[in-house]
């Protein structure tokens, strides 16, 4: 038996329930359970927020430069300069010896390594130095100039030509030319 006026109350209650469902469905982490329990349970499907928190930490963006730029390692032992035509790093203290001085080198030799786009990395024969910059390139950060990229890490400074893959690593403990 229906009571007079009960139809509008049921219609309003049904409308409220329908309006509440989309609000629950918008919640990425929860799905509704029974209305009387007041509890929710975790969704079996990972949400977009869950996917973001489980991915690797984003790497910092390279600092891109268009003019001659100098920087030093966090230890101050390696100093570099980079532009679109050259990446060069010099070192003060080292636990290694450079290869023998070329016969045609009339200046200082073995204190640094340079990379020119399209060429292999080579030891520097120069009467100047890359030291003088005050800008520290923190571990994990990198500077890019054209095809050349230098990155600072605990293991040393690595510079590479993105076009050829040639490059070098220079550090207190070792160097590597590639």
- Average per-residue pLDDT in the chain? 78
* Residue 51's pLDDT band (cuts 50, 70, 90): very low
Residue with tokens 């040393």: 156
* Residue 62's pLDDT band (cuts 50, 70, 90): confident
What is residue 14's predicted lDDT score, i.e. its pLDDT?
43
Mean pLDDT calculated for residue range 130-135:
94
142: its two tokens: 């990198």
91: its two tokens: 């070192």
How far apart, in whole angstroms, are the C-alpha atoms of residue 79 and residue 89?
Answer: 5
* Residue 80's pLDDT band (cuts 50, 70, 90): very high
Please measure the distance between the N-terminal and C-terminal CA atoms of the chain and give it in whole angstroms.
90
Nearest-10 Cα torsion for 59, 60, 61, 63? -140
How far apart, in whole angstroms, are the C-alpha atoms of residue 1 and residue 30?
Answer: 39
pLDDT tens-digit readout, 3-49: 444 444 434 444 444 444 444 444 444 333 334 444 433 334 444 43
Residue with tokens 């109350």: 9
């Amino acid at each position: 038996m229906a009571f007079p006026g009960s139809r509008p109350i049921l219609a309003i209650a049904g409308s409220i329930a329908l309006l509440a469902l989309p609000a629950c469905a918008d919640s990425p982490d929860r799905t509704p359970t029974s209305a009387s329990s007041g509890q929710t349970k975790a969704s079996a499907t990972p949400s977009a927020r869950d996917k973001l928190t489980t991915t690797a930490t984003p790497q910092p963006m390279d600092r891109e430069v268009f003019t001659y730029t100098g920087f030093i390692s966090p230890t101050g032992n390696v100093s570099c300069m980079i532009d679109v035509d050259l990446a060069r790093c010099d070192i003060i203290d080292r636990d290694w010896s450079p290869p023998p001085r070329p016969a045609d080198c009339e200046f200082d030799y073995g204190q640094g390594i340079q990379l020119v786009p399209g060429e292999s990395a080579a030891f520097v024969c120069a009467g100047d130095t890359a030291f003088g910059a005050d800008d520290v390139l923190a571990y994990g950060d990198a500077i890019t100039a054209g095809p050349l990229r230098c990155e600072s890490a605990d293991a040393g400074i690595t510079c590479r030509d993105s076009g050829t893959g040639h490059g070098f690593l220079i550090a207190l403990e070792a160097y590597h030319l590639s």
